[in-house]
Structures are given as C-alpha cells and as structure tokens.
Amino acid sequence: MVVEGNGVWITTDDGRRLIDGFSGLGCTSLGYDSERIAAAAHEQLSTLPYAPTFYGRTHPKIAALADRLVGIAPGDMSRVIFQCSGSEATDTLIKFLWARSAARGEPDRRVFISRRRGYYGNTVASVSLSGQPHMHAKFGLPLEGFVKTETPNYYLAHHDGETEQEFSQRMADDLERVILDVGPDSVAAFAAEPMQSGGGVIKPPEGYWPRMQAVLKKYEIHFHVDEVVCGFGRTGNRWGSETWGLEPDSVSCAKALTAGFFPMSALLFKDDLFEDLRANADEVGVLGHGFTYSGHPVGAAIALEALDIYEDIDLVGHVRSVSPGFLAGCEALLEHPLVGDVRGVGLFCGIQLVEDKATRALFDPALKVGQRVQDHAHDRGLYLRTIAPDRISFMPPLIIEPDEIVEATSRLAGALDDTWKDLRS
C-alpha cells in the first residue's frame, strides 16, 4: 500500500521507503512531487473544473495543449484528439482508421498488424492489437482482424551466428509475409512502440527500423507509433521516433504527457485522415466518437505545466547526462550468474534472467525467478517490475540523480544475490 511519494521515492503504509524503479507504471517522469503542477491543477480547479470537448465546444487550456503538441510532435501531425488513457487513444486510432476506410470506399481495409508481445492497452480493441496471450486467453480475444508479426527480441530469438542486421532483415521479412498473407489492400495500419515496453523492454536491434519502415513504405501501410511510454524523454530524445528515425503517420501519447499526475492521452494525426473523418461525419451529421472526460481542463492545465517544466529543467538533457551511468550500472549486472542480457537506452533498460548463459535457456516458469527478484528488491527498498519470461523492466523517473541511480542498481544487485541464494538452496 503506497501512501506517499517524494522525488523518486515512494513510502508504503508500513513506513518503508523505496526507490521507484518503474516510474509508477512508466509514467511518473517528474517523480512524486511538483509544487508547480499542484498549483496549476488548483488554479484550474478553481477556474473551470470541467468542460466538454464535444459538439463544437472546447476550452482554452485544451486548445493551447493541442497547439503545443502539434508543434512538438514527430512527423507532420496537425490534428489532435484527447482521451483519458493510452488504451482509449489506441481505440480511437482503430475506429478512425476504420472510418477512413469506409470514407475512401475501401470497406475491407480493416486489418491491424502489430507485434507479438506488444502492448497498446486493455480495452477490447486495444488489447486485441496487443500481443499478450495472457490478456486474451480467458476473454475470447483477440477480435478478428488483428494479426501479429514477430517481436524483435534479438537476444532470445536470434539463430546461432546471426548478426543483428540479419536478424532485423528476418523480422522485416516476417512483416512482409504477414502483409502479403492478409493482402496489402486489407491492411488498415501497422502499429508499434519505438521500443517495446510492456513486452519486456525490448530494444530494437541494429537495422530493425530502417528495414521495417522500408516494407511499410513498399506497401503504403499506415504506420502508427505508440509513444505512450517512449514519449517525453524516456529514450534520451523527446520522442522514441527521434531516437530511431521513425516516420509515423499517426502518434499516440499518454503517461508522461501529464507526468502521470492526471489520466490523459492524445492521438495525433495528419490532415489527410482528418479530411476523411470530416467526409464521414458530414454523412451522419457528427463525428460520433468521444468520452465525457476527453480533453479535461484540469488534465490540460497539468499537461501544459508538465511540458513547461520539461523545458525549464531541460529534462531530455538531464536524461542524456545520467543515462551513461544508468546503463553502465545495468551492464555491470551482466557479471551476475543470473543475468544473460542487458539492453537499454536513455533511462529505459531490459535485463534478462537466464538459467544458462551459454545456451540462453530460460528458467522453468514455476520457479518464478522474476517474481523472486521483484520481491527481494522490494525488501531492499527498490520497486521494480519483472515481465515474463523473467525480464526486469528498469525505468526510473526521468529526474533521477546519479547517486540515486547508484543506490538503485546496488539494491538490484543485492536482490539478484538474494535470488541466486534462493535458487541454490
């Protein structure tokens, strides 16, 4: 039970203080206190605590935020629609692209391609786009028309002797195979995160994105980039798209949009999609889509303040300056007998635990090795998340300082030692 937060630290109801190694759920970019955000929220609550963004209505804060996001977005985004969560942004994307297909007289262009282990949300449609079998199994999901291509986990999936470039070509070939299987004219979009997060923090291998984008261009497939985790500095640039040279046709963001202080997401897209939506809406008199709390004024005030703070403290510059120490601390863990692979960028790192480093063999899931590391880390004062198969997802708040990084990585090393002792006994 977490009862309080300060800086990168959280306090539980039994009085323990833990370093947050997972930024809440990848969202608390500024840690757990900000007088400026509290003041911005208070002022907005006192001025206009609610206003809808439906049926031609809007309010100044959301208009300002829309302008701001369009100004900084990757690609030539010119339109924004707001929701309350990353999942709703994904659902909005799916609905808008289906509407576009109808508007263009291509009603069969409805298939979405994404990657196994990708994560884009938990509503019925967004979880169908996600490649997480445990989120489908008991729900009769995914919906039809959501197909998957490979996940670029070079460490676990490369063939002996295969280089990263060769592996990346194999990934791109699989994408092409899926497109051809479905039929290029049936594909509404390919959606991906610049670097997979919920799938276990999987850094794209060398040559991956240029090769994937070449296939998308060849078949003129809409490329949606999910910046929900990567956006606002996580990878050492404002956008993951910048880190890997992505050219998105649409973008979603959430989480650090409000530093995690308010539930808000945004879907950004270009004029051509907007014109198709307008054509469709004209036929029925309205664009029949939205949520009561979309574009909430308090969320907008908080997001505007968070974006100001990011600039005032040069958050991206800070991430770049502390990242080498963070990554070196993580890479030092490779010497540990449990650690087979460490791959990261910015303040975003995946650490793979294996039973046998030579063969990359994973532990029997029944041993719950990842869970043990998570529990020992908790006991040592580090909040972490491990994702099956036994992959540690390490992504502290972006304001973390070098001494806190040293403390966090040493607590993690201790948790690995504790787990190693468990397994030996």
Ligand X SMILES: Cc1ncc(COP(=O)(O)O)c(C=O)c1O
Which residue number, 75 or 200, has a Cβ lying nearer to ligand X? 200
Nearer to ligand X, 22 or 155 (CB): 22
Q: How far is the CB of 288 from ligand X (least distance, A)?
A: 22
Least distance to ligand X, CB of residue 333, Å: 24
Task: For ligand X, give the closer residue by CB, 240 or 370.
Answer: 240
CA–CA distance, 203 with 162 (Å, rounded to integer):
17
Nearest residue (CB) to ligand X, 393 versus 409: 393
Query: What residues have CB less than 8 Å from 236, skipping those under 6 apart?
Result: 243, 316, 319, 320, 323, 345, 346, 347
State the nearest-atom distance from the C-beta of 119 to ligand X, in Å. 5
Question: Shortest Cβ distance from residue 121 to ligand X (Å)?
Answer: 4
Report the Cα–Cα distance between both ends of the chain, in Å, rounded.
31
CA dihedral 247, 225, 153, 384 (to 10 degrees): 130
Please tell me the distance from the alpha carbon of residue 96 to that of residue 371, in angstroms, as a whole number: 39
* Tokens coding 320: 């770049």
Cβ proximity to ligand X, 187 vs 228, nearer residue:
228
Comparison of 120 and 167: residue with beta carbon closer to ligand X: 120
Indicate the residue among 194 and 329 with the shorter CB distance to ligand X: 194
Q: Which is nearer to ligand X, 146 or 363 (CB)?
A: 146
Site for ligand X, rule CB under 6 A: 25, 85-87, 119-121, 193, 197-198, 226, 228-229, 254
Name which of 227 and 404 has its Cβ closer to ligand X.
227
**d(Cα 99, Cα 188) in Å, to the nearest integer?**
10
The smaller minimum CB distance to ligand X, of residues 109 and 391, is found at 391
Closer CB to ligand X, 130 or 409, in the complex: 130
Cis peptide bond N-terminal to 142, omega within 30:
yes
* Least distance in angstroms from the C-beta of 310 to ligand X: 19
Which pairs with CB-CB distance under 8 Å and at least 24 residues apart come from 315-319? 315/29, 315/30, 315/232, 315/233, 315/398, 315/399, 316/233, 316/236, 316/237, 316/238, 318/398, 318/399, 319/233, 319/234, 319/236, 319/346, 319/347, 319/398
Angstrom distance (rounded) from CA 344 to CA 195 = 10
Smallest distance from the beta carbon of 266 to ligand X, in angstroms? 12
Considering the complex, what minimum distance in angstroms separates the CB of residue 388 from ligand X? 16
Question: Count of CB atoms within 10 A of residue 20's CB?
Answer: 24
The Cα 381–Cα 383 span in angstroms is 7
**Closest CB 89 distance from ligand X, rounded Å:** 7
HSE-CB of 65 using CA atoms within 13 angstroms: 33
Rounded to the nearest whole angstrom, what is the least distance from the CB of residue 254 to ligand X in the complex? Answer: 5
- What's the one-letter identity of residue 290? G
Task: Find the residue with minimal CB distance to ligand X.
Answer: 86
The answer for residues whose C-beta is within 8 angstroms of residue 289's C-beta and 6 or more apart is 92, 95, 96
Query: How far apart are CB 185 and ligand X at their closest, in Å?
Result: 27
CB 59, min distance to ligand X, A: 22
